[in-house]
Amino acid sequence: MTVRRPFKIDGTSGLKEMSDGELDYVSYLTRTTWAAISNAPGHLKINSAPSGYSSIGAAIDEARATGRATTDVGVADGTIINNTSVPNIPGTLSNTTYTIYQNYNNSNDTPSVVNWNLGPLVAADSTYNNMQPLGYINGVQTLQDIYDTLIDPLIQDVEGGGVGIFRLSTSSPGSDFTSTGFSMANRAVTPGSSSGPSTTTYTLYKRTNETAPSTVRPVRRDPNVGFKEMSDTEITNYTLPLLYNRINEVNRLVYTFGLDSSGIDAGSFTETHFNSTQNASISQYISGHTYYRDVTGGSSTVYYLRLKNT
C-alpha cells in the first residue's frame, strides 16, 4: 500500500501535504456526487436489469389468497364429513420473485488524459524536488497509488454507513436516506381469516446526505499561475471514473442478497408463508353444513442485503 498525500495550499508555508482528516472532503464530495447520479456504477435496482447490471441474489414471496377454505358439504351437523369435500389448501398460491441487481457498467473507466494531468499533485519521491499528478510514477500512469490514497478510503466511508450506502427496510433509515423507488413485498395471510393477505413493503433506500467536513481541496499544476486549488468539478472529474473502475474490479463495494448474514448490514427482507393446513373435521363447522380448513405450518425466511467489508 502506497499512500501519496496530495498537497494543499497553506497560508503560511505555501504548500503542505494534506492530513487524513483534510482528505475527508475529497471523499465527501465524490460520494455525494456519485450518490446523486441516477444509475451510477455500483448502484442497486430491484427487478430491473438494464445492460451491465448483474444479479446479486433473489427472494421468492409465497402467498395464498386466503387463510381459510370453506364449503357446504350438504350433510347434517354432527355427521362425520368426507374430509376431501373441504378444499385442501385455502386460497390460490402465487409466487413473486424479487431479484436485486448491481450496476457494473463503466468497467474500464479512467480519467481522460486531460483530467488525469489536472489531478492532485503529490511528491514523486522522498526529496520533494519533483511533483507529479497522483497516479504517475516516473511519468508512468498507475492506478494503485490513487486507490490507496483516495478511492479505497472513500469506499470504506461508504462501508461505514456514509453517503452512498444502500439499505433495504420497511421504513426510511433516517432523514439522510432517499428512496430509490424500488421495493419488494411480503404477503401473508392470517389463519382463520377469509380476507386476503396483508402486505409488508420493503423499500430500497440510498444514503444521499451527511454532515460535510471542512472544505480542503488539493492543488494542481496550472500553466499560468504555477499551483492552483482544484475546483469541485475537477476533483470529481478525476475521482469518479477511478471509483467506477474500482467497483468494476468486483472486489470493492460488492453487495450480496441471500441467506448469508455475514458482511456489513444493509437491511433485510423477511418472507412469511403457510405451507400446510389442518384437516377438516366434525368440530370444524361454522353453521349449518359449512366446514372449513385453516392454513398452518407458518414459516419465515430472512434474506439479508449485505455489503462486503473491505
For the chain, what are the domain ranges?
7-307
Residue listed under C-alpha cell 511533483: 131
Task: Read off the pLDDT of each residue in 92-98 and give the average, rounded to a whole number.
Answer: 93
Q: What is the pTM of this model?
A: 0.90
Buried-exposed string 183-221: b where 16+ CB fall within 10 A, e elsewhere: bbebbbbbbeeeeebeebebbbbbbeebeeeeebbbbbe
Flag the least confident range among 101-105, 130-134, 207-211, 215-219. 130-134
Asked if pLDDT for residue 246 goes beyond 60, the answer is: yes
Q: What was the pLDDT predicted at 125?
A: 73
Task: Read off the pLDDT of each residue in 97-103 and give the average, rounded to a whole number.
Answer: 97
Q: What was the pLDDT predicted at 171?
A: 98
SS (H, E, C) the chain: CCCCCCEEEECCCEEEECCHHHHHHHHHHHHHHHHHCCCCCCCEEECCCCCCEEEEEEEEEEEECCCEEEEECCCCCCCCCCHHHCCCCCCCEEEEEEEEEEECCCCCCCCCHHHHHCCCEEECCCCCCCEEECCEECCEECCHHHHHHHHHHHHHHHHCCCCCCEEEECCCCCCCEEEEEEEEEEEECCCCCCCCCEEEEEEEEEECCCCCCCCCCCEEEECCCEEEECCHHHHHHHHHHHHHHHHCCCCCCCEEEECCCCCEEEEEEEEEEEEEECCCCCCCEEECCEEEEEEEEEEEEEEEEEECCC
Mean pLDDT score across all residues of the chain: 89
Number of neighbouring beta carbons within 10 Å of residue 105: 17
